[in-house]
Amino acid sequence: MRTWSPSRPRRANASRRARLIARFNCIHAQERLDAEANLRPFVCDMEMVQRIIYAAAVESFRAAKMAFWKVKVNVKETLALQHMGPEPVETAVLDYIACHTELYDVCSSVHEVICSLNMNPKLPCPPGVDFSVIKILIRELCTLAFLMQTLTPPLDISSGVGGEVFNRSMYYRSFDSDFSAPFVAYHVWPALMEDGAVILKGEVVTKK
């Protein structure tokens, strides 16, 4: 019979963390570009396309974190009644959720994000078309964001605002930026954060 060791969950956490960071990179490189291609027939302005995708990323993380909190409360209530250790209940809860991802109703989060984008007056979409055209990106982001909450500490994304001072430690400038401009015109992709530290830089456009 194996005894519980604090190093075992730390190793599992580190391995899961590495996989999720790599997946975030892959989504940025693949699904994000696919979503841009899906939007271009309906939204001619590339700036608006990028704004929509950034908003989708922020909304996906928000929806997934809210869903995770609800799942965690339910799992913790159940496990607390039968948990015998030796690991802490919190560790057991996070591990259980990470191993039982079917507990997450990702379709509900995707629907919530699409509705939020459709109702956003700053993100116009032509009549007869809604943001379900990028639901693959949204689904991947929601799934990833949910799993990132099972880490200790969890991973999250930055949520920037237009007009903020450009922070080179948090963002790259997009190729079409004015590189002498000190302010962010709009965000293209969020930075990945851990306990307030930047893990992966995001991307912004700076203009005077």
Instruction: List the beta strands (DSSP E) in the chain.
Output: 155-157, 171-173, 184-189, 192-194, 197-200, 202-206
Residue 195 and residue 205: Cα distance in Å, rounded? 25
**Which tokens sit at 139?**
């689904």
Closest CA to 20 of 195, 189, 204, 200: 200
- Banded model confidence at residue 11, pLDDT cuts 50, 70, 90: confident
pLDDT at 132 over 70: yes
Strands 192-194 and 197-200: antiparallel
- Helix (H/G/I), strand (E/B), else coil: 6: coil
Residue 86 and residue 91: Cα distance in Å, rounded? 10
Residue 120 and residue 126: Cα distance in Å, rounded? 13
Closest CA to 66 of 178, 149, 186, 183: 149
Place of tokens 């190729």: 175
Residue 73 and residue 85: Cα distance in Å, rounded? 19
φ, ψ at 145 (rounded to 5°): -60, -40
Which of 77-81, 126-130, 159-163, 199-203 shows the lowest per-residue confidence on average (mean pLDDT)?
126-130
- Banded model confidence at residue 115, pLDDT cuts 50, 70, 90: very high
Closest CA to 129 of 27, 33, 34, 49: 49
Q: What percent of the chain has pLDDT over 70?
A: 94
pLDDT at 63 over 90: yes
- Per-residue pLDDT of 12-49, as tens digits, reads 789 999 999 999 999 999 999 999 999 999 988 999 99
**Which tokens sit at 194?**
């851990």
Residue pair 16/99 in contact (Cβ under 8 Å)? The answer is: no
Beta bridge partners of 113: none
Residue pair 104/69 in contact (Cβ under 8 Å)? The answer is: no
Within 100-149, residue ranges assigned H as helices are: 106-118, 135-148
pLDDT at 100 over 60: yes
Overall average pLDDT of the 59-81 stretch: 94
Q: Residue 4: what pLDDT?
A: 44
Overall average pLDDT of the 202-207 stretch: 96
Q: Residue 58: what pLDDT?
A: 97
Kindly list the domain boundaries of the chain, sorted by start residue. Answer: 11-153
pLDDT at 2 over 60: no
